[in-house]
Structure 1
């Protein structure tokens, strides 16, 4: 970890610095407390000065909310195209995070010592420690209050889990691992016809949910690949919880493992844009690197008469991030052809939210499962 330094109590203080986005420690820092006014805090945050909070924890949350409201009051410029709306939306998201992340909290061995602070140690440990049997939290750790609240929220969701009808069970996502809250793509996987595959691969498994659905469909041997350390642990725990460890092997691999398979499934990030945090890597795939890598590697890894499934949304095309015929061109260039395409409509709230800046695209979005074979 990086370290953050600041002046307090007549001497220089030092602590480990945590930023999920990989942001460096702020160069300017002031101490804030219950007397700090929201307008002053907002001005400082906009100027790049961080505020290390030393008052009541609930008041710190209220200050963060007040700063967030001021950020959100900024008028939105009319956009001429959906693509312009997207870039404007992303810029606002990033700008909002940069400002609201300026309210900082110090933890000591994972605990917040501010008055009325909740017990956050389990949430912090679950987010930052890969081996949760070991307590390696630093003596002093500074991070944004916004990020800490995200850890606490993720910890609660992780305990609760997300119900997956195809499994008749819950899937539990770790902090930094995308939760399968959009179930329509899982319905496509659960309903697509199978040609009696003996060996299947789930590329970029995340929580392990697709691998688990494949096992419930009768596939005896599934290999699930990942590169994200958190996802590797998360998938392993979910598979063990479902008692599928004899059917699913989780391996660290960049896309494909060694060998060949009868069925290879991938649900890559759907939008070709830059991800700013680990969790965003499940949504944004800069220059469609994972999508292209998957398509271009299939022919070498499919068994004769093997089949590949690609789960994709057309949101990128509706926004203007990808040309309408570009995906089909990549499929053809990879020596593949589409034998069938199943479609479904999104069921998430943003598809009906007319206030969403991308509503015009989201309301028309179609999620598809492409069944591919080698030419």
Structure 2
């Protein structure tokens, strides 16, 4: 466990360091309160100094917003590129830079997840949900505190609200409750594609696999559609727990088996329908949530296509759900996906597509509006061999 040391009120102090995204602990640390200016805080963070907040919690959020405004103002001075791929990558770099800077404001958590700051929220349930019920600190040799960045803590609190309230899914007529670090089905157009696509010809009650199940939302839709058996897999233990809880809440636990696995169920076999909604952008994720969006070298996509045929029954189909945004911004060649499909010995039985309904698709202030306004999400129905 990484620890951070500093001096406070003339005494040496030590605390645990925690970062869900693997950010390194600050080299140096100073204690700050409400009287620090945003400019001074920014200079300290840029020098590699972490800022341990001991003031009013609301004022810490104000400081965070003030620093973010300064960073965005400086970014806006750079003329945008005409190339959509470069615009996308530049925005990614800018967001990563801002995240690294803003992560320099640190909040101390007590062993019971409480925050002993003025006007601090009660984040105990949220932190227990994200970090585990056993606490985040505790040993006397590190003073019992754990330091987390303010943006991470705010994310933990926000994620818990999503988890507590749930997300209404029209195709289910019910709510799905995402967990911290598990991609939430806020973009629901792909769910409708799975709900409406016909079963393979001659298969009435299929055995279905949901690869990369996340919250379990597609597994639930497939079970409700009448699948005889559904196996839902995910490599993320949090997703496995989240999916199992959602399916139990929906009364589907006896019809869906959730397993931790790297793509395919460990016990092998074949399925009549194999559904996969992989990350749709080639690139490196910078957080647990981004693993649902970014796929380094298209590794997950390539593995799914390359190994699909050996997991299908003779009449079986693989349902690949993928946005074409990567093609529209030049991160994937126009024919690359179809070439991979053919190269894997697969045939396209049919396609079903829809238009994304998320707010950014209609935001003409977005630098990528031209691409996002043309984005399509496609369900590719694939079979082994010639169709």
Structure 1 distance, partners of 2:97, 2:331, is 21
Determine which of 208, 220, 224 is the counterpart of 1:212: 220
**Number of the residue aligned with 1:62:** 62
- 2:134 maps to what in 1? 135
Displacement of 1:14 in angstroms is: 1.5
Q: Which residue of 2 aligns with 1:363?
A: 373
Contact map agreement 1:53 1:103 (CA 8 A) in 2: yes
Q: Distance in 1 between matches of 2:39 and 2:305?
A: 51
Aligned to 1:96: 98
In 2, Cα distance between equivalents of 1:76 and 1:167: 45
Which deviations, in whole Å up to 9, do the C-alpha atoms of 1:112-135 show, x marking residues without a partner? 000111100110110111xxxx42
Q: With structure 2 as the length reference, what TM-score do the two structures score?
A: 0.94
Question: Separation in 2 of the partners of 1:123 and 1:136?
Answer: 11
Shift of 1:38: 1.2
Q: Which runs of 5+ in 1 are unaligned?
A: none
Give the TM-score of the pair, scaled to structure 1: 0.97
Please provide the CA RMSD for this pair: 1.0
1:332-366 CA-to-partner distances (Å, cap 9, x unmatched) read 11110111011111110000111212212111101
Instruction: Write the mapping of 1:26-41 to structure 2, written as runs, cut at 5 A.
Output: 26-41=26-41
* More displaced 10-residue stretch of structure 1: 41-50 or 293-302: 41-50
CA distances 1:231-269 after superposition (whole Å, capped 9, x unpaired): 111001000000100100000110001211111000000
**1:47 Cα offset (Å):** 2.7
Aligned counterpart for 2:117 among listed residues 114, 117, 123 = 114
Measured after TM superposition, the shift of residue 197 of structure 1 is: 4.1
Q: Contact 2:349 / 2:381 at 8 angstroms: preserved in 1?
A: yes
Deviations 1:292-330 (A, max 9, x none): 111111111111111110000100000110000000011
- Mean Cα deviation higher: 350-359 or 85-94: 350-359
| Count of residue pairs brought into register by the alignment | 371
For residues 94 and 239 of structure 1, what CA distance do their matches in structure 2 show? 35
Q: Residues 48 and 99 of structure 1 are in contact (CA less than 8 Å); yes or no, is this contact kept in structure 2?
A: no
Q: For the residues of structure 2 that align with 1:204 and 1:47, how far apart are their CA atoms?
A: 40
Q: Give the Å deviation of 1:220.
A: 2.3
8 A contact 2:109–2:136 mirrored in 1: no
Q: How far apart in 2 are the matches of 1:156 and 1:245? A: 24
Cα distance, 1:12 vs. partner? 2.6
| Separation in 1, partners of 2:78, 2:121 | 36
Conserved in 1, the CA contact under 8 Å of 2:57 and 2:120? yes
Query: Is the 8 Å Cα contact of residues 42 and 70 (structure 1) preserved in structure 2?
Result: no
Q: Note the C-alpha offset of 1:39.
A: 1.2
Q: Does residue 167 in structure 1 map to residue 167 in structure 2?
A: no
Match of 2:179, SS state, is: coil
Mapped partners of 2:287, 2:229: distance in 1: 33
Please tell me whether residue 282 in structure 1 is matched to residue 311 in structure 2.
no
TM-aligned CA deviation for residue 76 of structure 1: 3.3
Structure 2: runs of 5 or more not aligned = 139-144
Match of residue 126, structure 1, among 126, 129, 133: 129
Q: Take 1:46 and 1:349, find their aligned partners in 2: how far apart are those partners? A: 33
Q: Is the 8 A contact 2:29 2:49 kept in 1?
A: yes
**Mapped partners of 1:300, 1:186: distance in 2:** 26
Name the stretch that deviates more: 215-224 or 191-200: 191-200
Q: Tell me the distance in 2 between the aligned counterparts of 1:332 and 1:13.
A: 61
TM superposition outliers: structure 1 runs of 4+ over 6 Å: none
CA–CA distance in structure 2, aligned partners of residues 168 and 339 of structure 1: 29
